[in-house]
Amino acid sequence: MSDNTTAGDVLNRLSAEGVSIWLDDLSRERLRTGNLADLVKSKDVVGVTTNPTIFQKALSKGDAYDEQVADLGLRKVSVDEAIRALTAADVRAACDVLRGAYDRSNGVDGRVSIEVDPRLAHDTDTTVAEARALWWLVDRPNLFIKIPATVEGLPAIAQVLSEGISVNVTLIFGIERYGAVMDAFLDGVERAVAAGRDVTDLASVASFFVSRVDTEIDARLDKIGTDEATALRGQAAIANARLAYEAYEKVFASDRWNALAAAGAKPQRPLWASTGVKDPAYDDTRYVLDLVAPGIVNTMPEATLDAVADHGVLRGDTIRGTYDGARATLAALDAIGISYDEVIELLEVEGVDKFEVSWQELLDSTQAELAKGQR
Residue 228: partners with Cβ closer than 8 Å, 6 or more residues away: 332, 336
Could you give the CA distance from residue 82 to residue 2 in angstroms, rounded to a whole number? 48
| Greatest CA separation for the chain | 64
Q: What are the distances in angstroms from CA 174 to CA 123, 154, 242, 259, 275? A: 21, 14, 11, 27, 16
Phi, psi of 202 (to 5 degrees): -75, 130
Of 197, 108, 107, 119, nearest to 160 (Cα)? 197
Rounded-to-integer distance, Cα 315 and Cα 120, Å: 41
Packed helices 7-16 and 302-311: angle between N→C axes, nearest 10 degrees: 100
373's enclosing H/E stretch is helix 340-374
| In 173-251, beta strands by DSSP E | 204-209
* 113 φ/ψ angles, rounded to the nearest 5 degrees: -105, 145
Residue spans of alpha helices (H) in 28-174 = 28-33, 35-42, 52-60, 66-74, 79-97, 99-104, 124-138, 153-162
- Reported as type and span, the H/E element at residue 115 is strand 111-115
Long-range contacts of 218-226 (CB under 8 A, 24+ apart): 218/279, 220/338, 220/343, 221/336, 221/338, 224/336, 224/337, 224/338, 226/336
Catalytic residues: 146
Rounded Cα distance, 238 and 223, in Å: 21
- CA angle (180 as vertex; 179, 181 as ends), nearest 5: 90
Phi, psi of 131 (to 5 degrees): -60, -45
